[in-house]
Structure 1
Amino acid sequence: MDFKSSDAGVWREALSSYESTIESIGKPNLIPLDDFYRNELPNLLHKRNPNPYITTDELSKLMQWKLARGKWRPRLLSFVSSLDDAVVRNASGKAFASLPDVSKAVSELTVLKGVGPATASAVLAAYAPDVAPFMSDEAMVAVVGDSKDYSLKRYLVFAEKIQIKAKELSSPEDIFTPSDVERALWSSTIGAKVKSSSTKSDDVVSEKKPKRKRK
């Protein structure tokens, strides 16, 4: 899907296929982790208003989700899982309180070992999907052309473009959040890869089938 597209119907279709795409990539552990990230975690965070925070256990589970949906980096999970809970609660509390200043919010979270701008963006997106999109590889490539630079500066460029796109696609009847835009891009990109891989597998099987001799 082209990021420049302003066809809300195309975007909504890509977003609606998100769950089936999650199931299609063959990572059984990702299904419950994604449910936790999109449904359970936001509820937990908002129940803690007016002073929301994330715990170390929740951050560790979020990291498992991030690595399962993207590239596996076990050291990051190890770093995050060993963080002091009081420190995580304090840093995340300051981050949430900083919103809608995304730059300050990310900076408050990246003091934690193992938490870079991408992980920080996932934390913020769980709490405020209408403000901060997750910085996934697939969305980065679609929006800014590559996924090589995961600095705060790059994230701010990425987030602004996603925010603008969300407003462009939204109507009074159908609201798109920045997180919706990110998920649609991820679903479209991964869905196309899964379909391409399946087609290639079918071609290989077809080539291996022995040709029947004519009688």
Structure 2
Amino acid sequence: MPPRKKQKTANPTAIPETPADFPNTALLRRALNQHAHALSLRSKEHTKNPDALTELDTWLTDSKTGLSAKISSSQPVDKTDMTSLMKWKLSRGKSRPTLLNLVASNPDALVLKATSAALVVVRDAKDDLERALLALPDACAMKGVGAATASALLTLQPPHLLPFMSDEAASFFAPTFGPIKYTDPFYKKFARAMVAEVGRLNAEASNGVQRWDSMKLERALFTICILRKHGEDGTLEDEGGTSTSPSLKRKRED
């Protein structure tokens, strides 16, 4: 019998192509500017307190007193922090109270060890995505923490290389990756796609324009989804009334 031909296998680290309906640069920037409003809309879906999610998000991102500040200055991330981070994630996405209880059940020492080990890996990786992805097992050593929750923590480590895997952001890659799976392999595909888009956005940006990172891109995609859901995507139109249709092709910024 003739020898079998070797089947070609896809290179998991190959740069993914941009989805055909991915928002263009101008739309993404307008969306990023309306992220706070999107949070308010989402908060009203989950709680009677419309400011609850906004307050958690401020705590998360505050560069002086928030969780981002602790991570940027290499301070320990403890169980109280992880519990609040889970509250933020559940308020921003699907409500799954059992996950909050699981995170709260972790021993203090385990949380400190897992978060420290994971963040060090990402910090040392700098802009090397494949090295940064090696942090997932450490972060997921905690009960109630899977790839999505781990990414909510790891995206806060400068330079914000790893993206948070929200359902909203992942939905833009559904034509390529299929239904969302909360697994390490799916997250890695999502992260590679997001980082590739960040690279393209920054390559297109004019001098002096604020650069993109994975954290900003996720927030812009989240905002687009929420505003569309609430019928407010018309607010994302430019001054010329350009539609927010996802079929818009990306254009270079002026």
For 1:29-178, list aligned pairs within 5 A. 29-39=52-62, 40-47=66-73, 49=74, 52-99=75-122, 100=125, 101-128=131-158, 130-145=160-175, 146-170=178-202, 171=205, 172-173=207-208, 174-178=210-214
> What is the CA distance between 1:4 and its match in structure 2?
2.8
Please identify, of 11-20 and 97-106, the stretch whose mean Cα deviation from structure 2 is larger: 97-106
1:181 aligns with 2:217: yes
Distance 1:179 1:160 in 2: 13
Distance 1:147 1:17 in 2: 27
1:140-170 per-position Cα deviation (integer Å, ceiling 9, x unaligned): 1112345531111111110011111111112
Measure, in 2, the Cα distance between the counterparts of 1:131 and 1:147.
Answer: 23
Contact 1:144 1:158 in 2 (8 A): no
- RMSD (Å) for aligned C-alpha atoms: 2.0
Shift in Å, 1:24: 2.4
Taking the aligned partners of 1:91 and 1:46, their CA distance within structure 2 comes to 17
Greater relative contact order, per chain length (Cα 8 Å cut-off, separation 6+) = 2
Structure 2 stretches lacking a partner, 5+ long:
1-18, 126-130, 233-254
Take 1:181 and 1:13, find their aligned partners in 2: how far apart are those partners?
12
Partner of 2:22: 4
Residues 53 and 90 in structure 1, CA contact (< 8 A), matched pair in contact too:
no
Q: Which has the higher helix share?
A: 1
Partner of 1:208: none
Q: Tell me the CA shift for residue 128 of structure 1.
A: 3.3
Shift in Å at residue 44 of structure 1? 1.6
Percent of residue pairs bearing the same amino acid type: 30
What's the offset of the Cα at 1:102? 2.8
User: Residue 8 of structure 2 aligns with which residue?
Assistant: none
Q: How far apart in 2 are the matches of 1:77 and 1:9?
A: 37
Aligned length: 193
TM superposition outliers: structure 1 runs of 4+ over 6 Å: none
**CA 104–3 in structure 1, closer or farther in 2 if over 3 Å, else same:** farther
| 8 Å contact from structure 2 (residues 22, 172) kept in 1 | no
CA drift of 1:103 comes to 2.4
- TM-fit CA distance, 1:81: 1.1
TM-score between both structures, scaled by the size of structure 2: 0.71
